[in-house]
Structure 1
């Protein structure tokens, strides 16, 4: 029976850190089944889900804190289980707009008010080419329950985008 451990970590960014983390997981006898790793400023961040037999997960839980200390890495770990299959359809939401305080909160509130779960969200800001104004680009994966009218959700989303001056689209997720 597989056991699962979610690990979240941040450390000073340097060459080879991703290899050290993945090597440690493998050394403990676990497999990485999902991960996101990224440099953010001078910091390297990772969130991953490891799978393994109970003794491999226990070994990873024991070894990681000591190794993390030597890597100047801050970690958090939590055991988890695979989710029950959802009766929902994944959709990709893309939004581009002038960056302003609270934009992420407005967007997450919109989906929460509709009863739609956010599975993943990424955000980037960058200066506009001609004006230098800061632009935000969000990519969100949501799960729309099968009982909901997708056309009504799209209509509400487009109205929301018009009212908040966002350029947004919502489409079925292409795998």
Structure 2
């Protein structure tokens, strides 16, 4: 499939927030690729949230490692006064059993809320990941509108992050959205691109749509 050139709509006064390199590279980590997992490996999706403090990442990663498991993917961030962690963890049945026990002990000792769910590798799909970068004055319904746009076309949002911040110089409250959308090869990309930017124009959103680096 030939990928059309990305279209850019640069916001006035360069109000788009700088995106750290680590966050940009994180876009492509869990998209169309199912991941390098072994057939005998058991996977767990682990979530943990609790009051932010130094050492939370160490505590949880230590529990995973000492149980004999390994971290395949992770997302960690502060949400107000709370700290949230999402991890995809792999190990054999014995290691997974140890992890369940140690996670329960850590939850009781620290007050973290920890959830473990059985997971499986993502099936391989014939899709191209696209980066969507949107910035606008903050108002209600931004995420809802964008998610409805892609859902109504049967497109999967693989990753998304949002941020509210003050614009430099003016101090206006801005809202930015970065997401990765998996676009099947059967989708006519030129038409999707035109529909997306027409939507952004109607909603007064400054947007970038470009293929993700893989």
TM-score tier, shorter chain, comes to over 0.9
Question: How far 1:21 sits from its partner (Å)?
Answer: 0.8
Task: State the distance in 2 between where 1:69 and 1:152 align.
Answer: 53
Match of 1:14 among 53, 56, 76: 53
Counterpart of 2:200 in structure 1 is 161
Match of 2:160 among 121, 125, 146: 121
Q: Which runs of 5+ in 2 are unaligned?
A: 1-39
Alignment-derived partner of residue 25 in structure 1: 64
- The Cα RMSD (Å) is 0.9
Structure 1: tracts of 5 or more residues without a match:
none
Query: 1:66-98 CA distances to partner (integer Å, 9 max, x unpaired)?
Result: 211211101221101001101111111000001
Between the aligned partners of 2:167 and 2:108, the Cα distance in structure 1 is: 40
- Greater relative contact order (Cα 8 A, min sep 6): structure 1 or 2? 2
Give yes or no for the alignment of 1:55 onto 2:94. yes
The CA distance in 2 between the partners of 1:149 and 1:65, in whole Å, is 48
One of 73, 76, 82 as aligned partner of 2:115:
76
The equivalences for 1:103-142 within 5 A come to: 103-142=142-181
Equivalent-residue separation in structure 2 for 1:126 and 1:81 (angstroms): 36
Question: Is 17-26 or 54-63 further displaced after alignment?
Answer: 54-63
Deviations 1:26-73 (A, max 9, x none): 011000000001112221110000000011112112220221121110
Instruction: Decide which structure has greater strand share.
Output: 1
Which residue of structure 1 lines up, in the alignment, with residue 3 of structure 2? none
Give me the whole-angstrom Cα distance separating, in 2, the residues matched to 1:124 and 1:138.
Answer: 7
What is the aligned partner in structure 2 of residue 99 from structure 1?
A: 138
| SS of match in other structure, 1:21 | helix
Aligned length: 175
Q: State the distance in 1 between where 2:150 and 2:186 align.
A: 16
